[in-house]
C-alpha cells in the first residue's frame, strides 16, 4: 500500500522543483489555529523534502495547531533560503508541528511522515535534489527517539520498500524559522505551478488515505 501510494505520485512531479519556484511574497500571513486555554501541546520536527509540500499535508490533520516551515540540522546560524539552497549550510528544510497529543499521537504523525515521501532516496525527493531535501526526524525526547527507531525498523522489515530506508533520526539542536513567504505556502499560492502540479495531486492522494484523520470542514 505504502509503496503504491508513494510511487504513484513521484513520477507526476519529476520535472518540477521546489527551489525553482522562489516567488518572494513577504506580505503573506501564516494561518495558525489558536490553542485553547489549558491544552498541553507537543512539538515534532520532520524533514521529508520541500517544506511547501510537507507543511500543506500536516496542516490538514486533526489535532495539529500549527505547522511552520524552517531549517535545521546544519551548522550555519540564522540561514537564509538562498544559503540553504547553495547546499553548504548542512541544514535540511523541515517543518515544526505543534500538536495536541490527546487528539493525535506522535505515532500517528510518524505514520503520515513515512507514508507521504520516499524515505529510501538519499538527499532527494522527486526533482528536488540536495542535502536540504533529506529525510530526517529530529527527536525532542527519548520517547520520540524510541518510537521513530522502532517504526523505522518495522518498516524496513515489512518489505514495503525495495531499498533500505535512509531516514536519519537525530537529536533536536536548533530550529530556524524560514522566511515569511514560505509559511502557509500552498494555501496562499494554489495557482502557482509547483502548487498545482506537485502539491495538489499529493494532497489529494493523502486526503484519501488519511480521510479519518483530517480536520472537519
CATH number of residue 181's parent domain: 3.30.1060.10
What is the mean predicted confidence (pLDDT) over 92-111?
A: 98
Catalytic residue among 50, 53, 85, 195: 50
Range of the structural domain that residue 164 is part of: 39-213
SS3 162: coil
Q: What is the model's pLDDT at position 25?
A: 44
What gap in Å lies between CA 175 and CA 133, rounded to an integer? 16
Burial (CB count <10 Å: 0-12, 13-18, 19+), residue 82 = exposed
For the entire predicted model, the pTM comes to 0.87
Count, residues in the chain: 217
What is the mean predicted confidence (pLDDT) over 46-75?
A: 97
Q: Count of CB atoms within 10 A of residue 105's CB?
A: 15
Q: Count of CB atoms within 10 A of residue 36's CB?
A: 8
* Residue 8: pLDDT over 90: no
> What is the residue-wise DSSP string for 171-192?
E---EEEPPGGGTTHHHH-TTS
Q: What is the model's pLDDT at position 30?
A: 47
Tens digit of each residue's pLDDT (9 = 90 or more) over 120-142: 999 999 899 999 999 999 999 99
The verdict on residue 175 lying in a domain is: yes
SS3 87: coil
The verdict on residue 129 lying in a domain is: yes
Q: Is 195 a catalytic residue?
A: no
The verdict on residue 183 lying in a domain is: yes
Amino acid at each position: 500500500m505504502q509503496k503504491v501510494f508513494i510511487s504513484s505520485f513521484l513520477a507526476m512531479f519529476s520535472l518540477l522543483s521546489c527551489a525553482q519556484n522562489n516567488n518572494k511574497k513577504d506580505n503573506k500571513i501564516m494561518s495558525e489555529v489558536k490553542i485553547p486555554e489549558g491544552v498541553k501541546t507537543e512539538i515534532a520536527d520532520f524533514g521529508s523534502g520541500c517544506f511547501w509540500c510537507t507543511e500543506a499535508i500536516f496542516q490538514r490533520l486533526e489535532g495539529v495547531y500549527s505547522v511552520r516551515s524552517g531549517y535545521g540540522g546544519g551548522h550555519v546560524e540564522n540561514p537564509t533560503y538562498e544559503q540553504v539552497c547553495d547546499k553548504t549550510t548542512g541544514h535540511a528544510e523541515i517543518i515544526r508541528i505543534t500538536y495536541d497529543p490527546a487528539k493525535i499521537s506522535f505515532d500517528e504523525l510518524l505514520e503520515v511522515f513515512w507514508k507521504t515521501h520516499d524515505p529510501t532516496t538519499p538527499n532527494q525527493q522527486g526533482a528536488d535534489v540536495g542535502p536540504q531535501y533529506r529525510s530526517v526526524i529530529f527527536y525532542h525526547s527519548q520517547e520520540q527517539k524510541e518510537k521513530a527507531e522502532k517504526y523505522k525498523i518495522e518498516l524496513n522489515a515489512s518489505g514495503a520498500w525495495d531499498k533500505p530506508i535512509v531516514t536519519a533520526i537525530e537529536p533536536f539542536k536548533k530550529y530556524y524559522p524560514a522566511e515569511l513567504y514560505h509559511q502557509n505556502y500552498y494555501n496562499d499560492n494554489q495557482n502557482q505551478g509547483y502548487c498545482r502540479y506537485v502539491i495538489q495531486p499529493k494532497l489529494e492522494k493523502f486526503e484519501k488515505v488519511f480521510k479519518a484523520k483530517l480536520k472537519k470542514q
